[in-house]
Amino acid sequence: MTDRKVVITGLGLATALGLELEQNWQKALAGVSGVSKIRLQCAGKSRVQAAAQVCENDYRSICRDFPSEAQSGGERRTLFALWAAKKALSDAGFTPCGEDRSRFGVALGAGLGVNRLEDIARWLTSGKKFDPARFASELDLVERDSIIRNNSSAPATLIASKFVLKGANFTITSACASATLALGAAYRAVKRGQADVFLAGGADSMINPVGLVFFVLLGSAAVSRMDPERLCRPFDRKRSGLVMGEGAGMAVLEEEHHALARGARIYAEVAGFASTMDAWRLTAPHPEGRGAKECMSLALADSKIAPEGIDYINAHGTSTKLNDLAETIAIKKVFENCTSYPAVSSSKSLIGHLLAGSGGPEFAFTALSVAQNRIHPTINLSSPDPKCDLDYVPDVSRQRVVRAALSNSFGFGGQNATIVVKKYFAGPGAR
């Protein structure tokens, strides 16, 4: 790699907390929960009763902003990605018809899309077998937001087309680590000189019957009928599983001199990245946090920051029994020789688990923590698990110097990704 610095110049969000960056950040600092009673037809019979959904007024605002995409596809994940991309580019100061964008790339972590039972049941024969011939002849009857019409790469392709981003374009679909893997790949491309600007992050929405039942069958979804706002409780003794969220988070990663030359505001610097694989079990992390520990250690080595230089970790923090404990163990191993452990908090307690898109908003919150020296809380941590005994910033935000921070994403299958963000200081030759 060269010595090119990669800085963050724009951020864009669409979550259950709102559509504006500052709105999301202020609610996160205030410990506002975006989780509410699920809004789906026949949801009363569902074991899953809560989710962090983008509110209907906000969703209609997105559809008004992208009318042709809403009309032709109507796929929520794609519309969230378009909104967050537009906001991130605007936040970075890029105008709709500006500079040459041949070295502007797109890297997106995206989920699989919407699986609809209707798209199977409609073409079953009386013997309950799928009729491929009739399906092929009646393809236009497939629901417009179905995975059959919208593959994983659709959002990244549309973003590039809509905002004329002519550089590298790729999609990563690797469970809950997808968005952080996309951010890491974008960081490396800019650092190596393969691009000057990358729009990177993630988007997902699996709040549909098939998406929800998948996590129920895995035994990882919270199915309690307690108050929805209190249901997602990472690191708490009474945690009962993940709470689904939806939305998108995008960031503009830019080469330092490119950003300075156009007078861009810089939030922070991306300093390092790493990815590992547990190679343990498909649906459970290694109980000793081996993959997660190695991932954080490698990211620190890549950043050339010693463990004692990290003040905050935006945890994967899913509110599941296995993940929260494994992540806690891994953090302790990485920072065992420090005089104290970093502060840790989970964005998922506020906005739910965006699955493939989760690393996007969490990266944005991490960058804001570094830029503003403020850490949002982990809410609903009222009965601490004695085995999860780190400083999780319970319920109340904290003001403290954040020199550098980690953002963790640890996905199903054992896929791990960690990205390092640090304060930006202009180097030699910077204008």
| Catalytic (active site) residue 353 | yes
- Give dist(CA 427, CA 36) in Å, integer: 46
78-109 per-position pLDDT tens digit: 999 999 999 999 999 998 777 889 999 999 99
The catalytically annotated residue of 176, 232, 295, 388 is 176
The single residue of 258, 286, 353, 376 carrying the catalytic annotation is 353
pLDDT in tens, 47-70: 899 999 999 999 999 999 999 999
**Model confidence over 256-297: pLDDT tens digits?**
999 999 999 999 999 999 999 999 988 889 999 999 999 999
In this prediction, residue 151 carries a pLDDT of 83
376 is catalytic: no
Candidate list 258, 286, 295, 316, residue with the active-site label? 316
* Buried-state track 319-335, b at ≥16 Cβ within 10 A, e below 16: bbbebbbbbbbbbebbb
Active site (annotated) includes residue 176: yes
Domains of the chain, first to last: 7-114+150-422 (3.40.47.10), 116-147 (no CATH)
Q: Is the pTM of this model over 0.85?
A: yes
